Amino acid sequence: MPNSGEFAIIERYFSRRSARPDVLLGVGDDAAALRVPADQVLVAAIDTIVAGTHFPDGTPPADIGHRALAVNLSDLAAMGAQPAWALLSLSLPVASGEWLEQFAAGFYAIADRYQVSLVGGDTVHGPLVVTVQILGFADPAQLLTRSGARPGDYIYVTGVPGEAAGGLAVIQRNLQGSDGDYLRQRFLRPEPRVAAGIAARKLAHAAMDVSDGLLGDLTKLCSASGCRARVELESLPQSRSMHALFDDAECERLALAGGDDYELLFTVSPELAARFEADVGSTVRCTRIGTIVGAATRSDVGVDCYRHGVRVSVDALSSYDHFAPPS
């Protein structure tokens, strides 16, 4: 991007003054200066979304702006962290004022809702790629991790996994109607479960966000924790809109292996389950879907699915892998 163009874009679209008192220096200097509260640790995550890979070409720019920040907020939510600041690296094929206006509106709308300040970034010419780095903080003693699950824990998931993948199918198949509209929004406008993560941090043993499919991500949590998970398929949260558009098998496949949910998985000891359900359940729908069980050996980690007590093979379902060979 020519220098003057880059400067004008930053000045015009990304230089809103921060309302946060912990921003000593934001956009405009060579780097931002930020104050982390005493006794807290900095929690950082970064995610890139690429046009044509993470969102369909032609996605409204406001939705891209929302998504770029939402997927990062979801990572902080999974840690039980309080989000605070974001950096935005924008690669643009053309500098369209209309596009930038809408993108910035989508970005700032969700940033404002979560009291996140945009404190810096980079703007370059290239294919449409949006990278956001999110920064926040947490009490180090209360960080939620993937590795804390223990045998006997109940497994919970927020929201309704599968709706986002259903929404992507709605876009790809150009399905019309109110159920399609609802699901399309679930894909385009994921709502990070920040309040749920914060409510869970004194109660859950482990947490993780679901971005690549429920079973695949639960397998990662099991690997980190050295245990197995037992999922009761009849307990999965159901979506009226999903059942209106897809048959039962497709609904289940999308719930288990569809990506882009940005819901949270938690494991919780049975003694704290009632409190967890009350506290976390007051922030978002939260469903118990199974139990953590012990692993016989270090390599015996993974997920088993049961339907009404009968083991079901789900080998055919695998999560989305960017580098998987074509099947």
- Going from the C-alpha of 43 to that of each of 49, 218, 247, the distances in angstroms are 20, 22, 41
Provide the 8-state DSSP code for 5: H
Contacted entry of ligand ADP, Mg ion, none for residue 73, CB cut-off 5 to 8 Å set by kind: none
Convert residues 95-134 into a mask of x (bound to Mg ion by CB under 5 A) and - (unbound): ---------------------------x------------
3-state class of 191 per DSSP?
coil
- CA–CA separation, 64 vs 81, rounded Å? 24
Query: From the list 121, 148, 152, 226, which residue makes contact with ligand ADP (rule: CB under 6 A)?
Result: 121
Instruction: Say how many CA atoms lie within 13 Å of 173 toward its Cβ.
Output: 14
In angstroms, how far apart are the furthest CA atoms of the chain?
65
User: Nearer to ligand ADP by C-beta: 122 or 248?
Assistant: 122
Instruction: Say how many CA atoms lie within 13 Å of 273 toward its Cβ.
Output: 15
- CA–CA separation, 257 vs 212, rounded Å? 7
Q: Does position 315 bind ligand ADP by CB under 6 A?
A: no
Structure tokens at 187: 């894909």
Q: Number of helices and strands (H, E) in the chain?
A: 10, 13
Q: Calculate the dihedral angle through the C-alpha atoms of 274, 275, 278, 284, rounding to the nearest 10 degrees.
A: -100
Contacted entry of ligand ADP, Mg ion, none for residue 30, CB cut-off 5 to 8 Å set by kind: ligand ADP
Over its C-alpha atoms, the chain yields an Rg (Å, rounded) of: 20
- CA–CA separation, 216 vs 296, rounded Å? 20
User: Nearer to Mg ion by C-beta: 11 or 122?
Assistant: 122
Contacted entry of Mg ion, ligand ADP, none for residue 123, CB cut-off 5 to 8 Å set by kind: ligand ADP
Bridge partners of 85, per DSSP, are: 117, 135
CB of 66 to Mg ion, least distance (A): 24
Q: Does position 123 bind ligand ADP by CB under 6 A?
A: yes
CB of 120 to ligand ADP, least distance (A): 3
Contacted entry of ligand ADP, Mg ion, none for residue 28, CB cut-off 5 to 8 Å set by kind: ligand ADP
Convert residues 21-50 into a mask of x (bound to ligand ADP by CB under 6 A) and - (unbound): ------xxxx--------------------
CB of 122 to Mg ion, least distance (A): 4
Contacted entry of Mg ion, ligand ADP, none for residue 11, CB cut-off 5 to 8 Å set by kind: none
Convert residues 87-106 into a mask of x (bound to ligand ADP by CB under 6 A) and - (unbound): -x-x----------------
> Contact residues for ligand ADP (CB under 6 A)?
10, 14, 27-30, 88, 90, 118, 120-123
> Contact residues for Mg ion (CB under 5 A)?
122
